[in-house]
A and B are shown apart, each in its own frame.
Chain A
Amino acid sequence: MSESKHPAEVLFSEGHPLTAALNMKFIPVGESSLRVELDAPESFADSNGSHTHSGFSTLLLDTVLGSCAIGKLEKMQPIATIKLTCNHLRRIIIGDAIYCLAEWNGEENSVSFVGGEIRRQKDDQLLSTAIGTFMIGTASRPLAEKSGEAQ
């Protein structure tokens, strides 16, 4: 595992199918936050064709909030979304440079709490917000055990 990469970036490596679709750039911010930058992809356009569907924002928020939770793990292990609540304030224009910023709020009883938002890069206009809770450790074996990564 590369020491310079965020743990989630390793998980969402080039081999991960979602990475190919979104072309995300992971930027850790301090010890408890994660920023992910990307361009709003045409592959998630709504029926109008000029904006992404809100489902794209939900997908991105689940990805980045979950990644932020992974970044706080003491050892690499699977997580699962328990609950995700999103508010979509504005539509995202296809091709706009956006970023998703997630902030880890804490962990209790193997549940990680993370908040986050999506904003447009050029003017920081708020597009979506979310709160997510994630179960730490699932029924599957630890990721590193399966992938051969050092823990």
Chain B
Amino acid sequence: MTVDFQSNVSEWLAAEALPEQGRYKTSFKTHHLGNIFIKSLHGGVTGAFMELAAEAITRETLDQSADLMITSASIDYLRITKDVDLHARAQIVRSSRRLSIVDVECWQDSEEIPVARGVITIKVTT
């Protein structure tokens, strides 16, 4: 099942779920820029998108009425980004009644050249 990205934040990020489970994309917008001189994405935009992806993959595997609260995000920025679309692959590492721990990796040009990776922890309340 694919989760609809129906929120202001996903609209601001221009984020969407792709048909393949665990794959997400944010389409580049000018307001995603952090350094406007070298036209790289804001690190916070990448981080926010990764949190959204982790939340979405968790939602896909749970009761839709479950309350999800992201409690922590640890993000490593591997490469300078540029002003193009950002892709993410999210994978649940561990899911229990109360927690979901999700690995997320992001890339732009090629999945083989990741620009960021992180671990997102989500508190689940059913």
Contact = CB atoms under 8 A, between A and B. Distances in A.
Contacts of A17: 30-33, 36
9 contacts: A18-B42, A43-B8, A52-B9, A55-B9, A56-B48, A62-B43, A80-B43, A82-B76, A87-B72
Contacts, number: 125
In this complex, which of A55, A89, A147 has the most chain B Cβ atoms within 10 angstroms of its Cβ?
A: A55
Q: Closest 3 CB pairs between A and B?
A: A55-B48, A59-B44, A62-B44
A46 interface: yes
Nearest to A146: B37
A83 interface: yes
- For the residues of A in contact with B, the DSSP-based class is mixed
A47 B7 contact: yes
Interface residues of B, number: 36
A45 interface: yes
B9 A46 contact: yes
A121 interface: no
Interface of A: 15-18, 20-21, 42-47, 49, 52-56, 58-63, 66, 78, 80-89, 91, 138-141, 143, 146-147
B72 A85 contact: yes
Interface of B: 6-10, 12-13, 30-38, 40, 42-45, 47-49, 51-52, 69-77, 80
B89 to A, nearest CB: 17
Contact of A58 (B10, B47, B69, B77): B47
Contacts of A84: 43, 47, 73-75, 77
Nearest to A86: B73
Contacts of B38: 78, 138-140
B51 A54 contact: yes
A62 B37 contact: no
B69 A91 contact: yes
Given A55-B49, A81-B77, A138-B35, 14 more contacts: A15-B36, A16-B33, A43-B9, A46-B7, A52-B9, A58-B47, A58-B51, A84-B73, A84-B77, A85-B75, A138-B38, A139-B38, A139-B80, A143-B37
